[in-house]
Amino acid sequence: MRFRILSGALLMAAFSAHAAPNPVTVFSCAYWDKSTDNVEKLDKCVEVKDGKLKFLPALFAKTRDVEGMSWVGLYDYMRAAGLMDADYYVRSPDSYLSVVHFDNGPDWFVEGLVRSRQNGKVGYWDDNFRNRIAPQFDYGWQFKEGRALVCNGCKPQKDGEHTALIGGEWFYIDKSGQKISDVKSGPF
């Protein structure tokens, strides 16, 4: 009797796992068009399944490719999928990096590194999407002359159209992520 109950429960669990596949949702995106040299919208750009993105072939036929990467923006309409608005650099359907939105577009590579926010923290990646400095800062600026200003414990404060960061610990890091000097107070 125990065997029948156990095997029945296992069959029901197996059936229910296969009976309800995770749906795939397709979304539109903004991209830089190679023929018009403008930002355009593509209706079927990216699939989302189990919280993972897969960029569709139609995107790669249209988007401008700079050094093997394309920029893609997923904005506003993604909230239904539970994903945040974001800018991405994309190399292939499954190779992409979400980057910090900066100055009305995606962050750009400076001194070989770009900023990305992962789990609420900023870190730095190279152009092959390899993490070079782990995401550990509440905010971080681009590198300049081999160092970047970062902060922990700083909080955003809206000031009209712009947002300033106040409080917290401010310091400079080098390209290995090591603290190289303190800053007495947040300059921004």
Question: What predicted TM-score, i.e. pTM, was given to this entire model?
Answer: 0.80
pLDDT, tens digit, for every residue of 89-134?
A: 999 999 999 999 887 789 999 999 999 999 999 999 999 999 999 9
pLDDT at 18: 41
pLDDT at 161: 81
CA atoms lying within 13 Å on the CB side of residue 153: 7
Cα of 53 vs its chain's centroid, Å: 11
pLDDT band at 77 (very low <50, low <70, confident <90, very high): low
Instruction: Name the residue among 58, 54, 31, 32 with its Cα closest to residue 44.
Output: 58
- What are the structural domain ranges in the chain? 25-105, 109-188
